[in-house]
Amino acid sequence: MTTAIYPGTFDPVTKGHEDIALRASNLFDKVIVAVADTSSKKTLFTIDERVAMAASVLSQVSNVEVIPFRALVTDVAREKNVSVIVRGVRAVSDFDYEFQMAGMNRQLNADVETVFLVPSENLACTSSSLVREIASLNGDVSLFVDEVVVVALKQKFS
């Protein structure tokens, strides 16, 4: 049984994230969507809110589990017996950063491979930071996020 971990901040979870999680769920027996509780990034949503939104958005996918984590993703992978880290890559600029991170992760845990997945073309420009910015200016983000996230963003910015 091959288990993959898809880590990220997911602040908030977007349709691009959902697309990558769905693609991964078709490739691996189990996918753990690991929501980072990080102090290095100031997030709009709390860890509990981000986990709840991701769990809601992905609730129809039977082989996806959503968990919070506050550790190195390589340590979580070791603890959960995960052999693959899934990362979404939208553009060349993403790849440069992700390539460096994959190399570092390999140094930290040689038993884990990183797999890069590309989102659907219509989601390639979607990012959490752009969604937050549009929502903060009362823009319509329904093309980019699930309805549960639309509601949560409206509550945050009201």
Report, as residue numbers or ranges, the catalytic residues: 17, 41, 90, 128
Number of Cβ atoms within 10 Å of the Cβ of 85: 25
Give the contacts of 35 (CB within 8 A, at least 6 positions apart): 8, 9, 10, 47, 50, 51, 54, 66, 67, 68, 69
Helix (H, G, I), strand (E, B) or coil at 104: helix
CA–CA distance from 28 to each of 24, 31, 37, 55, 117 (Å)? Answer: 6, 7, 25, 18, 13
Is the bond preceding residue 68 a cis peptide, omega within 30 degrees? no
